[in-house]
Structure 1
Amino acid sequence: MASFTLHGIPVSRGIAIGRAHLLAPAAMDVKHYLIGEVQVEAEVQRLQNAICKVREELQTIRKTLPKESPAELGAFVDVHLLILSDPMLADMPLDIIRNRQYNAEWALVTQIDELSAQFDEIEDPYLRERKADVQQVGERVLKVLTGTALRLPEVDSEGTSFANIVVVAYDISPADMLQFRDRAFAGFVTDLGGQNSHTAIVARSLDIPAAVGMNNASRLIKQDDWIIIDGDAGVVIVDPASVILEQYREHQVQLLRSRRKLGKIKKIPAITLDGTVITLLANIELPSDCATAMESGASGVGLFRSEFLFMGRIGTQHELPTEDEQFESYRQAVTAMKGRPVTIRTLDVGADKPLNVEEQTALNPALGLRAIRYCLAEPQLFLTQLKAILRASAFGPVKLLIPMLAHAFEIDQTLAMIDRAKQELRSEKIKFDEHIKIGAMIEIPAAALALPMFIKRMDFLSIGTNDLIQYTLAIDRVDHEVAHLYNPLHPAVLYLLSTVIALGRKAGIPVSVCGEMAGDVKFTRLLLGMGLLEFSMHPAQLLAVKQEILNSDLDGLIAQTKKILRNTEPSAIAAAVNQMRANPTPSHKSCL
């Protein structure tokens, strides 16, 4: 067989080499037929039995999860259990069977397709990819209905390296991945998925090389093919030539050595060669992520996305989490961080990602009623969350972060709502931090260009580079047709970034970056040269960024960065940034 290469989305760094193991293809293509009226209740019972069996399987996986497993794995199984119990998936297909007399498989697929179409309207990439969770739960039920079992490869008792496998699938759920925990597997390749898919998140948490969004990989790759995954490039090489195989094996050894060295700097403070202290924080989605953040050596949580509490509910608005339920999740995160600060971002949902899946979306969802705009339009929902966050602040240092602010009146209304939440808690004699820090996400160009009104009113700023780049360049970053226009090094983006950092430092107000740029080592020295002292990223990226910091001399980087910012040619800027990392300015001081 001739060697060939596939290109996808890099989601977890490293090199994986192994034999391909193909999982059964998606079970969504099922038989469609009508049943007689006398068969309806029997068909309803058949679907209910399948749902019960899947629930038992997931509960068993959850209970038998080893204590040392990454926290994300258990949390994802919990999400699948919630989806399985949601009326939109557990009850609606039963109504379809009764009303339309579809067979169980057809009824289930019909409802999954309906839910999937609603998720497709969501603009936010992280939340839009939660469609995969619904499909994975549905597929698990379908496999029970159709008798399709998940077959796993057998390995020798010692689990030696020659038994390593690369899992190739159309898609794979976190629950299925857990069933590989006792197998020797090297990496994952999936047709579906993106940077924020659960496959990607789990791969990063397990530190396993993976490439997703490969389209036809599961059809083109054959069982037992030799495969190389280049996790840094998102490239999969199938049936590589011996010389290529040896090159990648050598590269793999070098990466392992580098990772061992990274482990040695876990407890070393992030200080540049010239003695500047840099704060490294973690981005989390779930309270259980705090364990990974602590293990990575994070100084705190720079971004706790609170959406997971709300978006796990795919039903109607009356099912939104209560104040007590929210408080308990926030409290868990705060106590888990053991005195380190936790920055909680208020709800970032809206027209593009409705809490009620039956709501219609806006024509331009990224520009619609979302984030703080949505919260101010739903004051009771906002007040409930604010009170829950404030209550959690009694258990450790908490900061409040407000997304998508652009206007002074929005800031003033938000601060008024926070004051009202405080007053209600005082009346209820509930403790909270009276002096809680309140910050703004800078993710709209208007906010970056009108920064003085933010500095006047807020305690800190956090730059969301993902949206700032999207809005500055007027592109949808999840639209494949314009994805090539998404450029963090565009002169306009760099101008806004440097301006916010410089004005914040001049005013003595803390500024952090919590978008993808913060965790990308290609940009670490550039951001340092702009004067950034606080980075927040996925925990898996933290040690690599720390290594860049430990080997950086700010004096030299500041001079190089000023020169880059004066340049207006994108190609020259990119070359200069690459040069900055390849040949950092030498220092008379030695690296730790």
Structure 2
Amino acid sequence: MSAASSARQILTRLHEVMAGRTHAQHKLDRVVEIIAESLTSEVCSIYLLREGALELYATQGLNPEAVHVTRLAIGEGLAGTIAQNIETLNLAEAKAHPDFAYRPETGEEKFHSFAGVPIVYRERAVGVLCVQHVEPRRYEDVEIEALQTTAMVLSELIAHKELVDEEGQIDLEIAHIENDVLQGLTLVKGLAAGRAVFHQPRIEIDQVVAEDIEAERQRVYRAFDKMRDQIDALGKEPEFGKGGEHVEVLETYKMFAYDEGWSRRINEAIDSGLTAEAAIERVQQRTRMRMREIDDPLLADRMHDLEDLSNRLLRIVSGQLGTAATQGLRRDTILFARNLGPAELLEYDRRRLKGVVLEEGSLTAHVVIVARAMGVPVLGRVSGIRTRVAEGDEVILDAVEGTVTLRPTPQVVDAFATRFAKTREKQATYAELRDVEPFTRDGTRITVMMNAGLRDDMSALAMSGADGVGLFRTEFQFLVSSTLPQRDRQLRLYRDVLDAAGDKPVVFRTVDIGGDKAVPYLDSAVGERDENPAMGWRALRLSLEREGLLKAQARALLEAAGGRSLSVMFPMVSEPWEFDAGKQVFEDQLRFLRERRKLVPETIEYGCMLEVPALADALDILAPKLSFISVGTNDLTQFLFAADRANPKLAERYDWLSPAILRFLARVAQSLVGQNVRLGVCGEMGGRRLEALALLGIGYRRLSITPAAVGPIKELVRKVDLNELTQQMTRWLATPPGDMRAELQRWAAQHDIDLD
């Protein structure tokens, strides 16, 4: 018998039981009898979550006196392990499992084989369905499939109070624990408070058992057709953000949307007797269980893509369309999501969106770059979101310490308000420095510029008092577009940015896409994904190979800066010839425009980023060709330490204040002394007060940082005696202390320099 026919047989009989007018316990008793008979199993038991523990609610084959007596904690025994891990167990010998826990009142000592599946409701295990045999044997795949399908139906019946009476109510809803604190990885620093809102609102499935299988199949076919049309249409839109889908997975979406295996599995679930919605959810549950077993991050990403696409299909078939962004935010919000694309984040009302909490997320994710530019704090790698957060919960986000507090007590709210007020006071103090030039105590002028990437970012230039834009990331326009942005669109953006900057300089970094910033319209050229995307086919490497891309950008920048000054910076330069090749593209386009009597820039400055360590040993060759060079400390650090910043185990492991980093940066600064090249830093390191202090002490006089950091760094600069600091840093680099960070903190405290 197939899995579908086994499940259909059980569901048909369950439907008959549900139609009866007997009380809930009698229905549950009949359910375990039906499952045991259908699978020719000697034991069938149902454990349900009540008051925080799994309670035996019904059994066929075990001692009936154990019902409502036997209880297991989450994680205790086989049932507790299934509930904790939301996994399936299939054992020929139950007692051999390390988590086996014997309960004498059940009389289960004579049974050897065991199979159990979680009863899942809203991504939480609210119970366990298990079967047992005297003879040691593993259950067949068709039996496990039937059990899993039955467990899904049971969860909906339980949720609709059809199998549990009022006295025996189980823990369906999230336990509203006050001051429930979740830990995560800080992706964008900041403090925020608001109400919890899920990016993808939950879809309630009202009916799980199909009355007409063919009608349900047709509903799924129509939903598939509509979904495929939507995915195809996304690739044709001028702005990808309108579809609300992840930019970087469009091609994978198309692959899954037309995948026959996926649609076949949904069809098989319908064959078992499920409605269209329940069938999609059934296949989605199976995907989630597989995801928990996957260690390969690339494969896990693909499974997440399928999860996102399943959500889209479920919304289409149920008629419950849209994200929280399309519905609109009505109050200060902390947004919760499995993951987000940059275009999706930009859909939200910035006045209401105060913070973001992600189950996944990495320091290099596109959404993090955009969130940092928007000034929205983000916490990533937060587990337990779906099982511990309820829509509308009051939330305090501390993306400095890396925590999110759910349902805080009044005392915690007051303490946070006090801390937040102090932060605002400091910000007001920094704002007073907006028009003050940052000179050190011994009279050295430090250039403090800001990073940007969006048209709206330019308003921060005047508000922060930055000396200009030291890094304008042109790739943002590429990341939120479904097709390669045409030259005229690029030209409008660059012209608007220069207009907004006025007399202040703007350094445009040529597009840094590819690798970990994949865009769908270039995926076909990439072929297979890079094993190490940060060190792969990206940035200038990609632009030089796809010359049309760089030509279009070069002409757009040259035309936008007509009659003005233009500063161009090439990313990911590894050797001097790459800079030469990039500059030649601009010079060729400049000649083209002059021949056609177009207005061109009055002056052009060319520079590059130093991110690849190899370039440091070729600066004597490259420096005479440069007007400026900017160190990208984010990429440089991961390359020096061979440590992927996207890996949470390594993200915080290597310190920017380690002697290795500081000595390297000091050598770069020394090698450019006497050269007519402006040296700066445009990585995150320059925006942290302690790290900025170290940079000043080893010879860096130009910093380009987030707008929010401009005020704090200006204030820091005004407290520093550069001569004294330089001497101390020189001594430390010659003979590094055991803890450079601690030593620098002590030095700062002795000189009345606040580092908070």
Structure 1 residues 369 and 484, CA gap change in structure 2 (3 angstroms): same
Counterpart residue type for residue 578 of structure 1: Q
Q: Please, which of 713, 723, 737 is the counterpart of residue 545 of structure 1?
A: 713
1:305 aligns with 2:461: no
Name stretches of at least 5 consecutive residues in structure 1 with no aligned partner: 60-74, 123-127, 153-158, 587-592
Deviations along 1:481-518, one digit per CA (max 9) or x if unpaired, are 43343321222211121122233343131011111112
Deviations along 1:151-210, one digit per CA (max 9) or x if unpaired, are 98xxxxxx9xxx966555545777688666676x76443433344657656765665555
Deviations along 1:447-484, one digit per CA (max 9) or x if unpaired, are 12332112122111011111111111112121234334
Q: Please, which of 570, 574, 582 is the counterpart of residue 749 of structure 2?
A: 582
Q: Please, which of 522, 541, 551 is the counterpart of residue 690 of structure 2?
A: 522
- What corresponds to 1:469 in structure 2? 637
Conserved? CA contact 2:373–2:452, under 8 Å: no
1:357 aligns with 2:529: no
Q: Please, which of 335, 338, 342 is the counterpart of residue 502 of structure 2?
A: 338
Q: Please, which of 720, 724, 728 is the counterpart of residue 560 of structure 1?
A: 728
Structure 1 residues 430 and 208, CA gap change in structure 2 (3 angstroms): closer
2:554 partner SS: helix
Segment drifting more, 171-180 vs 223-232: 171-180
- What corresponds to 1:496 in structure 2? 664
Q: Distance in 1 between matches of 2:250 and 2:515?
A: 22
- What corresponds to 2:487 in structure 1? 323
- What corresponds to 1:412 in structure 2? 580
Q: Distance in 1 between matches of 2:499 and 2:662?
A: 37
Q: In the TM superposition, what is the alpha-carbon distance from 1:216 to its structure 2 partner?
A: 1.6
Structure 1 residues 188 and 434, CA gap change in structure 2 (3 angstroms): closer
- What corresponds to 2:183 in structure 1? 7
Q: Distance in 2 between matches of 1:136 and 1:395?
A: 48
- What corresponds to 1:156 in structure 2? none
Structure 1 residues 340 and 241, CA gap change in structure 2 (3 angstroms): same
- What corresponds to 1:386 in structure 2? 554
Deviations along 1:29-80, one digit per CA (max 9) or x if unpaired, are 999999899778844675489899999xx99xxxxxxxxxxxxxxx995684
Structure 1 residues 180 and 273, CA gap change in structure 2 (3 angstroms): same
List aligned pairs for 1:114-263, cutoff 5 A.
143=315, 145-148=317-320, 166-170=334-338, 187-195=355-363, 200=368, 204=372, 207=375, 209-222=377-390, 227-238=395-406, 245-263=413-431
Q: Distance in 2 between matches of 1:249 and 1:510?
A: 43
- What corresponds to 1:396 in structure 2? 564
Counterpart residue type for residue 184 of structure 2: G
Structure 1 residues 3 and 264, CA gap change in structure 2 (3 angstroms): same
- What corresponds to 2:433 in structure 1? 265
CA RMSD of aligned residues (A): 4.8
Q: Distance in 2 between matches of 1:228 and 1:363?
A: 37
Deviations along 1:91-150, one digit per CA (max 9) or x if unpaired, are 87876699968789899999xx9xx99xx769xxxxx99x99999899578546534478
2:522 partner SS: coil
Counterpart residue type for residue 308 of structure 1: F
Counterpart residue type for residue 301 of structure 1: V
Q: Distance in 2 between matches of 1:3 and 1:565?
A: 45
TM-score, structure 1 as length reference? 0.75
Deviations along 1:518-553, one digit per CA (max 9) or x if unpaired, are 222221211111222211122222222222223222
1:321 partner SS: coil
Q: Distance in 2 between matches of 1:151 and 1:78?
A: 12
Conserved? CA contact 2:453–2:473, under 8 Å: yes
Q: Distance in 2 between matches of 1:76 and 1:381?
A: 19
Conserved? CA contact 1:19–1:227, under 8 Å: yes
- What corresponds to 2:455 in structure 1? 287
1:347 aligns with 2:511: yes
Conserved? CA contact 1:79–1:312, under 8 Å: no
1:372 aligns with 2:540: yes
Q: In the TM superposition, what is the alpha-carbon distance from 1:364 to its structure 2 partner?
A: 3.9
1:330 partner SS: helix
Q: Distance in 2 between matches of 1:320 and 1:54?
A: 13
Structure 1 residues 40 and 419, CA gap change in structure 2 (3 angstroms): same
Q: Distance in 2 between matches of 1:51 and 1:375?
A: 27
Q: Distance in 1 between matches of 2:403 and 2:576?
A: 46
Greater Rg by CA? 2
Segment drifting more, 100-109 vs 500-509: 100-109
1:439 partner SS: strand
Structure 1 residues 552 and 394, CA gap change in structure 2 (3 angstroms): same
Q: Distance in 2 between matches of 1:373 and 1:92?
A: 27
Aligned pair count? 543
- What corresponds to 1:68 in structure 2? none
Counterpart residue type for residue 389 of structure 2: I
List aligned pairs for 1:26-37, cutoff 5 A.
none
Q: Distance in 1 between matches of 2:590 and 2:311?
A: 46
Identity across matched positions, percent: 26
1:453 aligns with 2:621: yes
Counterpart residue type for residue 588 of structure 2: R
Q: Distance in 2 between matches of 1:82 and 1:223?
A: 23
Q: Distance in 2 between matches of 1:221 and 1:485?
A: 29
- What corresponds to 1:572 in structure 2? 739
Conserved? CA contact 1:351–1:360, under 8 Å: no
Structure 1 residues 524 and 53, CA gap change in structure 2 (3 angstroms): same
- What corresponds to 1:508 in structure 2? 676
Structure 1 residues 34 and 451, CA gap change in structure 2 (3 angstroms): farther
Q: Distance in 2 between matches of 1:364 and 1:53?
A: 31
Q: In the TM superposition, what is the alpha-carbon distance from 1:24 to its structure 2 partner?
A: 5.6
Q: Distance in 1 between matches of 2:308 and 2:221?
A: 26
Q: Distance in 2 between matches of 1:337 and 1:301?
A: 8
Q: In the TM superposition, what is the alpha-carbon distance from 1:441 to its structure 2 partner?
A: 1.0
Conserved? CA contact 2:190–2:377, under 8 Å: yes
- What corresponds to 1:427 in structure 2? 595
Structure 1 residues 198 and 223, CA gap change in structure 2 (3 angstroms): same
Q: Distance in 1 between matches of 2:308 and 2:708?
A: 25
Counterpart residue type for residue 325 of structure 1: R
1:394 partner SS: coil
2:674 partner SS: helix
Q: Distance in 2 between matches of 1:53 and 1:407?
A: 41
Structure 1 residues 197 and 267, CA gap change in structure 2 (3 angstroms): farther
- What corresponds to 2:327 in structure 1? none
Q: Distance in 2 between matches of 1:15 and 1:50?
A: 37
